Structure formats: C-alpha cells, structure tokens
Amino acid sequence: MQTSELVEVFKTRYHNAEKGYTAVTIHLFGIEYAEQLVGHNLKDICTLADVPISYVTEIHKGMRLAEFVRLK
C-alpha cells in the first residue's frame, strides 16, 4: 500500500472519530493496517494527515497489538 493511501485512510478516520474515541480509532488503524505500515515513516503519515506527531506512539501500539487481536 502506498504512503498516500495510508495517509488518506488515517486522515479520514482521525478527523471523523467520535468524541472520546480518537485514541481507539488510531489503535484500530494500527491494528488493521499493521502489515501495510511496516517500512513506512509513521511521522510522515501523521504530518501528511494533519495529525499531531505524538500519535505515532498510538499507531505503533496498534501495530504491536495486531498479532494478539482479531477484528470483529
């Protein structure tokens, strides 16, 4: 998956997250796209999606959880 595609998905999910569910939405993004995110610069993805760079940590948490979690 191209970086630009990941940016668009992340941007849409982040900016449309329900109030109080922003972090959960970011974790789910990391879980769902864990394999596609490998090798991409997460700081660049946050910057291009107009999301604070501090959320790189939350994306990474989702990526780490991916091997233990199955989405409904």
Domain extent at residue 41: 3-65
Q: What is the pLDDT of residues 50-68, one digit of tens each?
A: 999 999 999 999 999 999 9
What is the per-residue pLDDT across 27-41, written as a single tens digit (0 to 9) for each? 999 999 999 999 999
Q: Residue 13 has which token pair?
A: 């999910």
For residue 35, being part of any structural domain is answered with: yes
pTM over 0.85: yes
pLDDT-derived band at 72 (thresholds 50, 70, 90) equals confident
Calculate helix-pair angle for 3-15, 22-32, nearest 10 degrees. 150
In a domain, 70, yes or no: no
Domain count, the chain: 1
Say how far apart CA 18 and CA 32 lie, in whole Å: 18
Is 18 a domain residue? yes
